Amino acid sequence: MDSREAILERVRNALGRKLGQKPLPPPEPLLRVRYETADAKLTLFRAQLNGTLTVVPDAAAAGNAVEKLLDGQSAVASDHPFLQACGIPNIPGVTANPEDLRNTCATAGVGITSAYCLLAETGTIVLRACPQEPRLLSLLPPIHIAVVPLDRLLTNLDEMLSMTPRPVDSDSSAMVLITGPSRTGDIEQMLVRGVHGPGAVHVVIVLGKTPPL
Amino acid sequence: MSAPDSAIRQTLANANLQLAIYSNTGRLKNHRSKAVAPDRFPEYQDLRTRAAAIKRHTLAFLDVYLLQLEHAVNDNGGKVIWASTGEEAADFIIQLAKDREANLIVKSKSMTTEEIHLNDRLAQHELETVETDLGEYILQLAGQRPFHILAPAIHMTRHDVAKVFNEKLGIEHDTVIENQAMTARRVLREKFLNAGIGITGANFLLADSGGVVIVENEGNARLTLSAPKIHVTVAGLEKLIPRARDLPVFLDLLGRSATGQPLTSYTSIVSGPRRNGELDGPEEFYVILLDAGRTKLLADPEMRESLQCIRCGACLNACPVYRKIGGHNYPWVYSGPIGKVITPQFQGVEKDPWLPFASSLCGACAEVCPVKIDIPGLLLKLRKEIVQANPEDRRYFRIWAWLMQRPGMYALAAKIGRALMGFNIGPLAAWRSERDLPAAPPKSFRDLWKQRKK
Amino acid sequence: MPRRAAIFVTCIVDQLFPNAGMAMVDVLERLGFEVEFRDAQTCCAQPAFNSGYQKEARAVARHFIDTFADAETIVVPSGSCTAMITHHYTDLFARDGQALERIRALTPKVFEFSQFLLGLPNLDALAARFPHKVTYHDSCHALRELGLKDAPRRLLGQVKDLELIEMEAAEECCGFGGTFSVKFAQISGAMARTKVDSILETGATHVVSLDSSCLMQLRGSLSRGGHKIETLHLAEVLASRG
Q: Are B217 and A194 in contact (CB under 8 A)?
A: no
Q: Are A167 and A157 in contact (CB under 8 A)?
A: no
Residue A24 has pLDDT above 60, yes or no: yes
* pLDDT tier, C1 (very low <50, low <70, confident <90, very high otherwise): low
Q: Are B210 and B73 in contact (CB under 8 A)?
A: yes
How many angstroms separate the CA atoms of B182 and B184, rounded? 5
How many angstroms separate the CA atoms of B129 and A133, rounded? 30
Closest chain C C-alpha to B451 CA, distance in angstroms: 12
| Interface residue C47 vs chain B (CB under 8 A) | yes
Task: List the beta strands (DSSP E) in B9-147.
Answer: 79-83, 104-107, 128-131
Residue B404 has pLDDT above 90, yes or no: yes
Q: How far is CA B134 from the centre of its chain?
A: 18
| Interface residue B243 vs chain A (CB under 8 A) | yes
> Of A153, A32, C147, A29, which Cα lies nearest the Cα of B42?
A32
> What residue numbers bound the domain in which B414 lies?
398-453
What DSSP character marks residue A197? S
Residues in chain C: 242
Tens of pLDDT, residues C100-122: 999 999 999 999 999 999 989 88
Residue of B nearest to A141 (CA): B189
A27–B54: do the CB atoms touch at under 8 Å? Answer: yes
How many angstroms separate the CA atoms of B144 and B426, rounded? 37
Q: Are B373 and B304 in contact (CB under 8 A)?
A: no
B50–A12: do the CB atoms touch at under 8 Å? Answer: no
How many angstroms separate the CA atoms of A93 and A95, rounded? 7
Residue of B nearest to C195 (CA): B320
| Interface residue A175 vs chain B (CB under 8 A) | yes
* pLDDT tier, B12 (very low <50, low <70, confident <90, very high otherwise): very high
Out of C40, C172, C185, closest to residue B434 by CB = C185
How many angstroms separate the CA atoms of C17 and C21, rounded? 7
Residue A213 has pLDDT above 50, yes or no: no
A182 three-state secondary structure: coil
A166–B280: do the CB atoms touch at under 8 Å? Answer: no
How many angstroms separate the CA atoms of B345 and A212, rounded? 55
Q: Among A99, A132, A135, which would you mutate to test the B interface (most chain B Cβ atoms within 10 Å of its Cβ)?
A: A135
* pLDDT tier, B350 (very low <50, low <70, confident <90, very high otherwise): very high
Out of A30, A102, A121, closest to residue B249 by CB = A30
Longest dimension (CA), chain A: 66
How many angstroms separate the CA atoms of C217 and C234, rounded? 16
Sheet of A124-128, strands arranged across: A153-154, A117-119, A124-128, A174-178, B266-270, B211-216, B204-206, B240-241
Out of B362, B391, B445, closest to residue C21 by CB = B445
Closest chain A C-alpha to B254 CA, distance in angstroms: 14
Tell which A residues from 57 to 96 touch B, by Cβ distance under 8 Å.
none
What is the three-state SS of C153-165?
HHHHHCCECCEEC
Q: What is the CATH number of the domain that holds C145?
A: 3.40.50.11810
A6 three-state secondary structure: helix
Q: Are residues C134 and C211 in the same domain?
A: yes
Q: Are residues C54 and C160 in the same domain?
A: no
- Classify residue B108: in a domain, yes or no: yes
Q: Are residues B275 and B159 in the same domain?
A: yes
Please tell me the predicted confidence (pLDDT) of residue A210: 60
Residues of chain B neighbouring A95 (CB-CB closer than 8 A):
none
DSSP C51-77: TT-HHHHHHHHHHHHHHHTT-S-EEES
How many angstroms separate the CA atoms of C72 and C116, rounded? 13
| Interface residue A131 vs chain B (CB under 8 A) | yes
Last residue of a domain, one of B269, B292, B315: B292
Radius of gyration of chain A (CA): 21
| Interface residue B171 vs chain C (CB under 8 A) | no
Mean pLDDT of chain B: 95
Residues of chain B neighbouring A131 (CB-CB closer than 8 A):
277-279
* pLDDT tier, C86 (very low <50, low <70, confident <90, very high otherwise): very high
Query: Number of CB pairs < 8 Å for B and C?
Result: 190
Residues of chain A neighbouring B27 (CB-CB closer than 8 A):
189
In the complex, which subunits touch A with 3 or more CB pairs below 8 angstroms?
Answer: B
> Of C212, C49, C89, which Cα lies nearest the Cα of B361?
C49
- The Cβ-side half-sphere exposure at B272, using a 13 Å CA radius, reads 23
Closest chain C C-alpha to B73 CA, distance in angstroms: 43
Residue of B nearest to A24 (CA): B61
Which whole number is the average pLDDT over C27-36? 95
Q: Among C38, C43, C56, C75, which would you mutate to test the B interface (most chain B Cβ atoms within 10 Å of its Cβ)?
A: C56
Angle at C213 between CA C211 and CA C218, to 5 degrees: 100
Please tell me the predicted confidence (pLDDT) of residue B2: 79
B383–C50: do the CB atoms touch at under 8 Å? Answer: yes
Q: How far is CA A161 from the centre of its chain?
A: 14
Rounded to the nearest 10°, the torsion over CA B358, B361, B364, B368 is 90
Last residue of a domain, one of B277, B292, B307: B292
How many angstroms separate the CA atoms of A144 and A137, rounded? 8
DSSP C123-185: GGGG--B--SEEEE---HIIIIIS--SHHHHHHHHTSBT-EE---TTTTS--S-TTTHHHHTH
Q: Are residues C7 and C113 in the same domain?
A: yes
Q: Are residues C142 and C185 in the same domain?
A: yes
How many angstroms separate the CA atoms of B403 and B398, rounded? 9
Q: How far is CA C188 from the centre of its chain?
A: 20
Residue B119 host element (H or E): helix B118-123
Select the more confidently predicted residue: A213 or B272: B272
B134–A195: do the CB atoms touch at under 8 Å? Answer: yes
Which whole number is the average pLDDT over A190-197? 94
Between strands C163-164 and C133-136, the pairing is parallel
Tell which C residues from 131 to 160 touch B, by Cβ distance under 8 Å.
140-141, 144-145
How many angstroms separate the CA atoms of B347 and B318, rounded? 25
C184–B394: do the CB atoms touch at under 8 Å? Answer: no
Last residue of a domain, one of B292, B319, B347: B292
Closest chain C C-alpha to B61 CA, distance in angstroms: 26
Measured in Å, how far apart are chain B's first and last C-alpha atoms? 55
Q: What is the CATH number of the domain that holds C16?
A: 3.40.50
Q: What is the CATH number of the domain that holds B197?
A: 3.40.50.10420
> What residue numbers bound the domain in which A174 lies?
28-206
Residues of chain B neighbouring A162 (CB-CB closer than 8 A):
245
Q: Are residues C109 and C7 in the same domain?
A: yes
| Interface residue B189 vs chain A (CB under 8 A) | yes
Tens of pLDDT, residues C126-184: 899 999 999 999 999 999 999 999 999 999 999 999 999 999 999 999 999 999 999 99
- Classify residue B105: in a domain, yes or no: yes
> Of A179, A195, A94, which Cα lies nearest the Cα of A137?
A94
Q: Are residues C8 and C73 in the same domain?
A: yes
Residue of B nearest to A188 (CA): B157
State the total domains in chain B.
Answer: 2
Please tell me the predicted confidence (pLDDT) of residue C123: 87
- Classify residue A23: in a domain, yes or no: no
Residue A103 has pLDDT above 70, yes or no: yes
Residues of chain B neighbouring C219 (CB-CB closer than 8 A):
436, 438
- Classify residue B282: in a domain, yes or no: yes
| Interface residue A20 vs chain B (CB under 8 A) | no
What does pTM read for this prediction? 0.96
> Of B389, B390, B386, B365, which Cα lies nearest the Cα of B375?
B365
Residue of A nearest to B160 (CA): A187
How many angstroms separate the CA atoms of B112 and C152, rounded? 45
Radius of gyration of chain C (CA): 18
Residues of chain C neighbouring B440 (CB-CB closer than 8 A):
15-16
Q: Are residues B407 and B258 in the same domain?
A: no
| Interface residue B61 vs chain C (CB under 8 A) | no
| Interface residue C54 vs chain B (CB under 8 A) | yes
How many angstroms separate the CA atoms of C57 and B233, rounded? 47
Q: Are residues C175 and C150 in the same domain?
A: yes
Q: What is the CATH number of the domain that holds A147?
A: 3.40.50.10420
Q: Are residues C106 and C161 in the same domain?
A: no
Q: How far is CA C122 from the centre of its chain?
A: 22
Q: Residue B80 pairs with which residues in a beta bridge?
A: B287
Residue C3 host element (H or E): strand C3-7
> What residue numbers bound the domain in which C142 lies?
125-238
| Interface residue B237 vs chain A (CB under 8 A) | yes
Residue B149 has pLDDT above 90, yes or no: no
Tell which B residues from 280 to 309 touch A, by Cβ distance under 8 Å.
280-281, 285, 289, 291, 295-296, 298-299
Q: Are B28 and B151 in contact (CB under 8 A)?
A: yes
Contacts of A103 (CB under 8 A, 6+ apart): none
How many angstroms separate the CA atoms of B338 and B365, rounded? 9
Q: What are phi and psi of B190, to 5 degrees?
A: -65, -35
Reported ipTM: the value is 0.96
- The Cβ-side half-sphere exposure at A23, using a 13 Å CA radius, reads 19
Q: Are C115 and C74 in contact (CB under 8 A)?
A: no
Closest chain C C-alpha to B440 CA, distance in angstroms: 6
Q: How far is CA B114 from the centre of its chain?
A: 11
Radius of gyration of chain B (CA): 25
* pLDDT tier, B454 (very low <50, low <70, confident <90, very high otherwise): low
| Interface residue A162 vs chain B (CB under 8 A) | yes
B221 three-state secondary structure: helix
State the total domains in chain A.
Answer: 1
- The Cβ-side half-sphere exposure at B383, using a 13 Å CA radius, reads 24
Q: Are B200 and B177 in contact (CB under 8 A)?
A: no
State the total domains in chain C.
Answer: 2
In the complex, which subunits touch C with 3 or more CB pairs below 8 angstroms?
Answer: B
Q: Are B343 and B158 in contact (CB under 8 A)?
A: no
Mean pLDDT of chain A: 94
Poorest-pLDDT segment among A170-179, B56-65, B149-158, C203-212: B149-158
Q: Are residues B272 and B407 in the same domain?
A: no
Q: Are A64 and A175 in contact (CB under 8 A)?
A: no
Tens of pLDDT, residues A36-63: 999 999 999 999 999 999 999 999 999 9
Q: What are phi and psi of B328, to 5 degrees?
A: -75, -15
B105 three-state secondary structure: strand
Q: Are residues C131 and C114 in the same domain?
A: no
Residue B322 has pLDDT above 90, yes or no: yes
Tens of pLDDT, residues B259-286: 999 999 999 999 999 999 999 999 999 9
| Interface residue B154 vs chain A (CB under 8 A) | yes
Q: Among A18, A124, A173, which would you mutate to test the B interface (most chain B Cβ atoms within 10 Å of its Cβ)?
A: A173
Closest chain A C-alpha to B217 CA, distance in angstroms: 5
Q: Are A111 and A69 in contact (CB under 8 A)?
A: no
- Classify residue A90: in a domain, yes or no: yes
Q: Are residues C143 and C112 in the same domain?
A: no
Tens of pLDDT, residues B170-200: 999 999 999 999 999 999 999 999 999 999 9
Select the more confidently predicted residue: C7 or A213: C7
B445–C48: do the CB atoms touch at under 8 Å? Answer: no
